[in-house]
Amino acid sequence: MPLNNVQLGDDTVITHPDLVNLYGCSIGSGTKVGPFVEIQKNSAVGARCKISSHSFLCEGVTIEDEVFIGHGVMFTNELFPRSTTPEGALKTEADWRVVPTRICHGASIGSNATIICGVTVGRFALVGAGAVVTRDVPDYAIVAGVPAKVVSDVRERESLYPLQQQE
């Protein structure tokens, strides 16, 4: 299992340990990490989250508790990426600055969404599949599209389609 300097909470589940790349990050208790996920250094995932397969959480991403990350979700951490300096030398860590991103408690990010660095996705917000989030998302908002725009409110939708109680 490629785990280097990772803080894992109690009852954290890594479904296919040989198929993830986790280093220099922390993952909270009860979180489930799917296969082909990479979580880089200086990133944090809260408790009771689900990080679905093929997702990429780069340096500077903070995922709060009870967040759902769908399949193939991508995060960025630099607004103007370049491979070389103006002089033509290959860039190193010293040549760029990480722009942090925060996904707040209870939010859900749909499959294949891209989250551009520097944004905050609010509490219990829902990002539609394939959306490109370029601006902050308010608490409880549903956003969709490229670029993502507010299309509804989670509280209104959930009242129309309440969860079925299990007997």
Which residue reads 């799917």 in tokens?
34
Structure-block tokens of residue 14: 């890594």
pTM: 0.91
pLDDT of residue 166: 46
Structure-block tokens of residue 153: 């409110």
Residue ranges of the chain with per-residue pLDDT less than 50: 165-167
